[in-house]
Amino acid sequence: MDNLLHTSDYIVFIIYFLIITSYGIWIYKRKQSAKADTKDYFLAEGSLTWWAIGASLIASNISAEQFIGMSGEGFFAGIAVAAYEWVAAIALIIIAVWFMPVYLKNKIYTMPQFLKQRYNETVAIVMAVFWLFLYVFVNLTAILYLGAKAISGLAGTEYFYVIVLGLAVFAFFITIGGMKVIGYTDVIQVAVLLIGGFVAVYLALLTVDEVFNQGSSTLNGFATLMREAPDHFHMMFSKPTESSSPDYISKYIALPGITMYFAGQWIANLNYWGCNQYITQRALGADLQTARNGILFAGFLKLFMPLIVMLPGIAAYVLYNKGYFDSAVFDGNKDGAYAAILSLLPAGVKGLSAAALTAAIVASLAGKANSISTIFTLDIYKPYLNKGASEQKLVWIGRISVVVAMFIAVFCTWDDLLGIGGEGGFTFIQKYTGFISPGVFAMFILGMFWKRTTGAAAISGLLAGFLLSVFFNNYAPSLLGHDTWLYTAYLNGQGEYEIPFLINMGWSFFFTVLLMVAISLTGPRINPKAFDLDTSMFKLQPSTVFWITIIIVSVMALYAKFW
């Protein structure tokens, strides 16, 4: 069982690279405007179809933290981690129906612009800087690090640094073509991602059936997974008791059973999909129906994502417990689970799956870099550093900011300066994004739908959301005790009491909203900067209702099966 790539794998990989590059150049030339324009470059205004928007949303979302991080959580905790994908499908419905009409009617192009238009410049500039730091130091760096670790697990760990540079350069060349190139190349990226991902799952299930039953059936392989790891096929973890093992407590801390559905799970998803430049940017250049169709298409694809990003982790868990993997291939570290599954693939096919993984990584890097350049150029450089800058200069500033962001990410990745490897990639991103999610989501949701919300309340909410997140995460157990009416903290792997971060997020959001409401009640009954809303904005076409119904019924069926 050889985990390294062969000549045929490299050929497949090179073909993928050439196809993506050639298609990107063709799209760039075919859709190139006669004059450089920021809306065209950053938003691809009016150029992306619904299927391109949906594919781009998935390609940008499903990256190293999903393939590597979520597969690792599948290895560790099982199907419960699919909550992030299936709740996201419902969250995308909410975004399509209620958020997008507000954005498009008010001609919102960036998230800081929303805050400036609805509140004031102070809120906008604070959040623009905040988002830039988060996107560069948490998201971009984590995607690059996890991606390089995964691919080097196939090509050889000695190539880690070469792969870091290769991924950064590949993503850079896609990014400088603008959102049109990103959006349309993402269609191919998603196709490769899905095909390669399903091939890996198919062969993993065949291997499980062969090892345990000497058979060759994927259905039997899946049944074997459920038989050998029944604890990995439940969506809900019960609250730990005194007799619970440290491993079970760690699982509950990451995914705290049904309580997370009344707390941070919805906040994390609605904030990510609805208040995140990296995601919303794909739909902000389209008309409302095209944007809605694209977002719902992404929601439909979300239903299938756990199959290719979570199920391989469970297969790795079962095979690892059977003693199938050589320690040189897989040592039981959860972030190595997906690479272990890819090591099962034959030559050529392994290259296809490596291409799928690379597609996901590069698409996410390019999307994140484009969002970084959009926020820096339109929300910081143009209004505060060079108000008279021409459209052409702004496009070039956007490209330069991509270079700087990529350089910082490579620098932080080189020796894992942020400690991503030690914490686990998926948990690292979710946890540190969660520090700002409560305050940000409170600002957006109240700003959209409550006309009384004031700028002072927004600033207070942003600071309170962050401080409350830090308090609950780092100080609450020692100051308030580890078992209160608000929460229960558990001993983690370091011997310290820890509150599940999704519970932290829920309480941080709750108290932030209370504070913002109290402050806003001291202001005018209607804030002069409030958005005008009317019921016609939220009317749905029959085809839209049909797809919403399909998604909701599918999610209900999945939860009924795996509760």
Instruction: At 446, list the tokens.
Output: 């109240």
In 3-state terms, what secondary structure has residue 491? strand
Please state the domain extents for the chain.
7-434+533-562
pLDDT in tens, 296-309: 999 999 998 888 88
Four-residue CA torsion sign, 13, 18, 19, 20: positive
pLDDT in tens, 465-490: 989 998 998 899 999 988 898 888 88
Q: Which of 530, 517, 511 has its CA nearest to residue 457?
A: 517
Average pLDDT over residues 69-96: 88
30: pLDDT strictly greater than 70: no
pLDDT in tens, 372-430: 888 898 888 988 888 888 878 888 888 889 899 999 989 988 877 777 666 555 566 66
pLDDT in tens, 494-519: 778 888 888 999 999 999 999 999 99
Rounded distance between C-alpha atoms, residue 324 and residue 27, angstroms = 46
Q: Which of 193, 232, 223 has its CA nearest to residue 205?
A: 223
H/E stretch holding 455 reads helix 455-470
Residue 462 near residue 439, CB atoms below 8 Å: yes
Q: How far is CA 169 from the centre of its chain?
A: 21
Q: Tell me which of 123-127, 332-336, 364-368 is least confident.
A: 332-336
Q: What is the DSSP string of 250-292?
A: HHHHHS-GGGGGGTHHHHHHHHHHHS-HHHHTTTTTS-HHHHH
263: pLDDT strictly greater than 50: yes
pLDDT in tens, 145-176: 878 877 776 777 788 888 888 888 888 877 77
Average pLDDT over residues 540-554: 93
Share the mean pLDDT of the chain. Answer: 83
Q: What is the pLDDT of residue 452?
A: 93
In 3-state terms, what secondary structure has residue 463? helix
CATH classification of 7-434+533-562 is 1.20.1730.10, yes or no?
yes
Residue 96 near residue 545, CB atoms below 8 Å: no
Q: What is the pLDDT of residue 1?
A: 42
